[in-house]
């Protein structure tokens, strides 16, 4: 028959010919009850994977098909990497379909976060990206927080339609879908592979719903302008926060520098003494020094005290971003895929060094 056999983990089409290509299964393993491609099998059983490149054009083509459907689009965003969560041109690709924003990973935010205010922030920022979501819901797919509200919002807004789950890689799409499947009953084990590594879901996968409709998971688009994409999987768990981020406050004078591991450098060039609050993974070492000593310190300690990365050559060379803050409102300096630094209500000139190609920008403070 010409029926496609899909991997239960990532949804890719199964093949038995070429071990180096995606979807490979040794033919002897075809009789397994739960069919996983070799890649998912390894992730599941050994926690290891080979990286597979995804072609952004293919992904946008897949997304474009959504425009021809009548469905609800759920865009999952990683609240901790809001900047890296955006799919370029999403509003064109989904046509007239309604879009619901699911802001994931709230467990990384302080318990004191004012969700009402953050919701307004997300809505306004979404509008700036040209998106007008019908709803914004918060959840932690991994911890299960607020999943009920998310599910009922989806149920309310889908009105008998199919649901497409879209988003960039690593925002938590697969984790959320595994939750959904468990909450909607039926299957009681993880059927989609989740991992901290980019691009784990490789093809569209349909999860049938009771009313004949389906939840359709898309693979996710890789954004190379996120720092996390460049990090070796072995070091990724240090860079991508795994638990509630503890803000680190630094009172700096001008001409002082902060190194965030070996990933970025923050130079406070001029302005009155003020505090800067770093929101990055708790496991990253932040080193404070005088700016005049920063270059030689970096030369001596890159890959050592200033790590990750232990191999600095895995990153593009650093590029300087010059930022002028007026001090009129609290602002975040965002380094996509790493975190952000909140600046107080004072004038400041700042220079941020980050690997070339990584997005560095300022925004109204998220918290
Ligand atoms: P996908 O590529 O969008 O399908 O993302 P995955 O579901 O594979 O998740 C990517 C990474 O984010 C994995 O390491 C997950 O454990 C992690 N993750 C997913 N949801 C959450 C969450 O709610 N909170 C936190 N802290 N991590 C999450």
Q: Which of 109, 138, 172, 234 to mutate to test the pocket of ligand 1 (most atoms within 8 A of CB)?
A: 172
DSSP per-residue letters across 20-62:
TSTTB--GGGGG-SS---HHHHHHHHHS--------HHHHHHH
Helix 147-158 to helix 173-183 angle (10° resolution) is: 80
Ligand 1 atom index nearest CA of 141: 23
Q: For every one of its 367 residues, what pLDDT tens digit does the chain have, with 9 covering 90 and above?
A: 456 788 887 778 899 998 877 788 998 888 888 888 887 787 777 666 555 555 677 777 778 889 999 999 999 999 999 999 998 888 888 999 999 999 999 999 999 999 999 999 999 999 998 899 999 999 999 999 999 999 899 989 999 999 999 998 889 988 898 787 776 654 445 556 666 555 556 667 777 777 778 888 877 788 889 999 899 888 999 999 999 999 999 999 999 999 999 999 999 999 999 999 999 999 999 999 999 999 999 999 999 999 999 999 999 999 999 999 999 999 999 999 999 999 988 999 999 999 999 999 999 999 9
**Cα–ligand 1 centroid distance for 300 (angstroms):** 35
**Cα–ligand 1 centroid distance for 326 (angstroms):** 36
Report CA 39 to chain centroid distance, whole Å: 21
Contact 105, 175 (CB under 8 A): no
* Strand order through the sheet with 339-343: 248-252, 274-280, 339-343, 331-335, 360-364
The contacts of residue 290 (CB under 8 Å, 6+ apart) are 255, 256, 257
Kindly report the pTM of this predicted structure: 0.87
* 19: nearest Cα among 45, 4, 35, 37: 37
The contacts of residue 163 (CB under 8 Å, 6+ apart) are 71, 72, 73, 74, 154, 213, 214, 215, 216
Residue nearest to atom 28 of ligand 1 (CA): 142
Question: From the CB of residue 134, how many other CB atoms can be counted at a distance below 10 Å?
Answer: 13
CA distances from 241 to 195, 236, 261, 291 (A): 14, 9, 14, 28
Ligand 1 atom index nearest CA of 168: 3
């Amino acid at each position: 028959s010409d029926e496609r056999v899909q991997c239960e983990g990532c949804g890719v089409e199964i093949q038995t010919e070429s071990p180096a290509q995606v979807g490979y299964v040794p033919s002897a393993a075809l009789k397994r009850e739960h069919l996983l491609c070799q890649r998912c099998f390894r992730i599941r059983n050994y926690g290891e994977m080979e990286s597979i490149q995804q072609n952004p054009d293919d992904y946008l083509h897949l997304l474009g098909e959504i425009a021809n459907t009548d469905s609800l689009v759920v865009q999952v965003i990683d609240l901790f990497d809001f900047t890296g969560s955006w799919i370029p041109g999403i509003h064109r690709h989904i046509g007239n379909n309604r879009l619901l924003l699911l802001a994931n990973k709230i467990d990384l935010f302080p318990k004191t976060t004012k969700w009402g205010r953050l919701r307004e922030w997300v809505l306004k920022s979404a509008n700036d990206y040209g998106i007008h979501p019908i709803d914004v819901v918060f959840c932690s797919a991994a911890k299960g927080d607020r999943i009920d509200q998310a599910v009922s919002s989806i149920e309310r807004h889908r009105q008998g339609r199919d649901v497409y789950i879209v988003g960039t890689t690593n925002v938590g799409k697969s984790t959320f879908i595994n939750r959904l499947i468990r909450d909607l009953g039926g299957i009681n084990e993880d059927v989609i592979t989740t991992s901290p590594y980019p691009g784990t879901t490789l093809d569209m996968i349909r999860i049938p719903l009771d009313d004949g409709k389906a939840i359709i998971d898309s693979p996710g688009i890789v954004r190379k302008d996120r720092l996390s994409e460049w990090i070796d999987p072995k070091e990724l768990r240090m860079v991508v926060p795994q638990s509630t981020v503890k803000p680190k406050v630094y009172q700096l004078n001008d001409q002082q520098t902060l190194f965030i591991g070996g990933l970025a450098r923050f130079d406070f060039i001029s302005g009155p003494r003020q505090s800067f609050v770093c929101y990055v993974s708790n496991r990253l070492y932040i080193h404070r020094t005088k700016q005049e000593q920063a270059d030689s310190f970096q030369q001596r300690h890159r890959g050592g005290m200033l790590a990750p990365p232990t191999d600095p050559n895995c990153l593009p060379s650093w590029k300087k971003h010059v930022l002028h803050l007026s001090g009129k409102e609290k602002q975040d300096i965002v380094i996509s895929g790493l975190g952000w630094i909140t600046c107080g209500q004072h004038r400041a000139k700042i220079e941020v060094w980050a690997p070339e190609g990584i997005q560095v920008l300022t925004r109204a403070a998220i918290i």
